[in-house]
Structure formats: structure tokens, C-alpha cells
Amino acid sequence: NSKLRHVEKDVLIPQIMRERAKELCSDKVQAFTKCCQETGFLMVVKCRQENTALKDCLVGHYSDPLFYEECKTEYLKQREEYRATGIKKKRQKLTSNA
């Protein structure tokens, strides 16, 4: 049964989307984090470019209907496994070769 409850649509699937988008935008996350660490107090002004690039990357994924469907499919697979086994599976982080 692939019918989604309100909490699944509004909380659980968006949570997977956020995690995956952060992984897919990891280069921009790292650039923004590095800028903030190096800049300190003036980061709001100095890291504007890195912040914009990061936001654009994340929002691009959040607003992509195909990305939503991928994350929904991933969620439904996890839910099915959990219902079959009773064991909640931790989401594996993608490891980067860089």
C-alpha cells in the first residue's frame, strides 16, 4: 500500500530530500562552511556568494518533482522493509571519493 499519511508527505519525505540534497550539494556546503570559518563575524557580508550558491543548489533539488519522486520511492522502500522486518534501517551516507 503506497498511500501516504500527512506526516509522511510533510515531514518524513522532505527529511530525506534535505539529507540527499545536502549530499548532492556537498561541495557548496563545504565552500560555505569554509568561508564562515575563515571569516568569522563578517560572514554575512563576506560569504554571500557561497551562501547564494548553496541555497540555489538546495532549492533546485527541493523544487524538482523528479527528485521528490525519487525520495518518495526511497521512503516507501524503507517503510516496506520496516513493516516486513520491524527493524528501522539507518540511511547510509553517500561517501565521496574526493
Three-class SS of 30-47: HHHHHHHHHHHHHHHHHC
Task: Output the pLDDT for position 98.
Answer: 42
Mean pLDDT calculated for residue range 29-33: 95
**Is residue 51 situated within a structural domain?**
yes
Say if 88 falls within a structural domain.
no
CA dist 85 to 75, 80, 90, Å?
15, 9, 14
The count of domains in the chain is: 1
Residue at 35 is within a domain: yes
pLDDT, one tens digit per residue, over 44-91 is: 789 999 999 999 999 999 999 999 999 999 999 999 998 888 877 665
Distances in Å between the alpha carbon of 12 and those of 5, 27, 48, 65, 69?
10, 25, 30, 16, 13
Q: Is residue 12 a part of any domain in this protein?
A: yes
Give percent of the chain above pLDDT 90: 70
Does residue 26 lie within any of the structural domains? yes
Task: Report residue 10's pLDDT band, with 50, 70 and 90 as the boundaries.
Answer: very high
- Collapsing DSSP to helix, strand or coil, 26 comes out as helix
On the question of pLDDT at 39 being above 70, the answer is yes
Domain containing 12: what range? 6-82
Residue 95 lies in a domain: no
Q: Is residue 93 part of a domain?
A: no
